[in-house]
Amino acid sequence: MRFSLKEHRLLRLNRLNASREIAPVTLPNCRLIKGIEAGSEDIDILPNGLAFISSGLKYPVLKNPELDKPGEIFLMDLNEDNPKAVELRISRGFDLASFVPHGISTYIDKDDTVYLFVVNHPHQKSTVELFKFVEDDNALVHVKTIRHDLLTSVNDVVAVGPDSFYATNDHYFFDHILMFLEMLLGLTWSNVVYYSPKEVKEVASGFYSANGINISPDRKYIYVADIFDHNIHVMEKHANWSLTHVKTVQLDTMVDNLSIDPHTGDVWLGCHPDGMKLVYNDPENPPGSEVLRIQNILSEEPVVTCVYSDNGSVLQGTSVASVYEGKLLIGTVFHRALYCEL
């Protein structure tokens, strides 16, 4: 099937949900988090209420106002009455100057060691950095850098072991011109890769742009957001780490990252209502924010609720939403972060 240039442009606008308007949905007890100014692209919360926040993403096709600032990882203790974001120190020997954190995931080992996996884009490449969290020192000790030919354009990871994970490649290409052409032509070359020191393999493919990835509380299912196809894929995880497709939940928004409520299994989504505004990042017409919650995602009739939406006057370019004990953190690609009490 061949498309004209006009049809290609319409397809691109559809993928980006261009010109979609949203009604505001406010929450009564919210405040912007002091100290986070250059984004909060992904958030992962430990069972004890410690929240890790990645900040400082620089992405080829997006206009980031903080291009010269190295990336950071923040920590918030959500058990505190008035939690604050604290920048974590990173051990010597790690190249902080080229640190560009993207998706993150935590893993608690059998001896209670906490590992933090961080997608990194040093010099416009893709690596996964493995850190050990030292709570008493508010520090991250760098363990190793993971590179592989199958980890080409990594967006997000979900840890399944102390040195193993699933990763999404959001594009086949990492060069920004080729990435743009990939989207313009509607190529479904994005995929999911399983990585361990002993085995690395593609486990799912055929996505327009696989973005956020997470795992169900019972560790049986993997959830993958396809940001350009406006949906979530539910995949069953098998003993050999392969994945099989179970169902697709179609939505009317661009889904970025996924977070899972460990108690209810609800899936919380950070979404972009209009991706074109995100790309241009015009201060006079800023990108909006949208947070969705999906209840009973494995049932025949999942319940989708819009919990928060804003036209960009408060929060711009939401990428993630994570909950802990009635508290909600909302992160963004390159703007601020919001703390709410539900």
Q: What per-residue confidence (pLDDT) applies to 279?
A: 79
The verdict on whether residue 42 carries a ligand-binding annotation is yes
Q: Which two tokens stand for residue 191?
A: 């995929």
What percent of the chain lies above the pLDDT cut of 90? 79
Residue 4: band (very low, low, confident or very high) from pLDDT cuts 50, 70, 90: very low
Question: How far, in Å, CA of 337 to CA of 301, rounded?
Answer: 32
Helix (H) or strand (E) holding 322: strand 318-324
Question: How far, in Å, CA of 57 to CA of 321, rounded?
Answer: 17
Q: What is the largest CA-CA distance in the chain?
A: 60
Question: How far, in Å, CA of 257 to CA of 101, rounded?
Answer: 14
Q: What per-residue confidence (pLDDT) applies to 180?
A: 74
The verdict on whether residue 41 carries a ligand-binding annotation is yes
**Residue 271: Cβ-neighbour burial (10 angstroms; 0-12, 13-18, 19+):** buried
Residue 288: band (very low, low, confident or very high) from pLDDT cuts 50, 70, 90: very high
The verdict on whether residue 257 carries a ligand-binding annotation is yes
Residue 3: band (very low, low, confident or very high) from pLDDT cuts 50, 70, 90: very low
Q: What is the pTM of this model?
A: 0.93
What letter represents residue 124's amino acid?
Q
The verdict on whether residue 68 carries a ligand-binding annotation is no
Mean pLDDT of 97-106: 97
Q: Which residues contact 290 (CB under 8 A, 6 or more apart)?
A: 22, 253, 270, 271, 272, 273, 306, 308, 309, 310, 318
Q: What is the pLDDT of residues 128-170, one digit of tens each?
A: 999 999 999 999 999 999 999 999 999 999 999 999 999 999 9
Question: How far, in Å, CA of 250 to CA of 332, rounded?
Answer: 22
**Distance (Å) of CA 138 to CA 50, 134, 142, 327:** 11, 6, 13, 22
Q: What is the pLDDT of residues 59-83, one digit of tens each?
A: 765 655 555 788 999 999 999 999 9
Q: Which residues contact 161 (CB under 8 A, 6 or more apart)?
A: 107, 196
pLDDT of residue 194 exceeding 60 = yes
Q: Provide the 3-class DSSP secondary structure of residue 103.
A: strand
Q: What per-residue confidence (pLDDT) applies to 187?
A: 80
Lowest mean pLDDT: which of 90-99, 244-253, 281-290? 281-290
Q: What per-residue confidence (pLDDT) applies to 68?
A: 72
pLDDT of residue 6 exceeding 50 = no
Q: Is the alpha carbon torsion for 77, 80, 83, 86 positive or negative?
A: negative
Q: Catalytic amino acids? A: 102
Question: What average pLDDT does the chain have?
Answer: 91
Q: Provide the 3-class DSSP secondary structure of residue 113.
A: coil
Residue 10: band (very low, low, confident or very high) from pLDDT cuts 50, 70, 90: very low
Q: What is the pLDDT of residues 242-262, one digit of tens each?
A: 999 999 999 999 999 999 999
Q: What per-residue confidence (pLDDT) applies to 63?
A: 58
Contact status, residue 47 vs residue 334, Cβ threshold 8 Å: no
Mean pLDDT of 276-302: 92
The verdict on whether residue 104 carries a ligand-binding annotation is yes
Architecture of domain 5-341: 6 Propeller (2.120)
Q: Which of 232, 289, 228, 277 is nearest to 258 (CA)?
A: 232
Give the domain ranges of the chain: 5-341
Contact status, residue 266 vs residue 295, Cβ threshold 8 Å: yes
Q: What per-residue confidence (pLDDT) applies to 5?
A: 41
Question: How far, in Å, CA of 333 to CA of 313, rounded?
Answer: 15
Q: What per-residue confidence (pLDDT) applies to 292?
A: 98
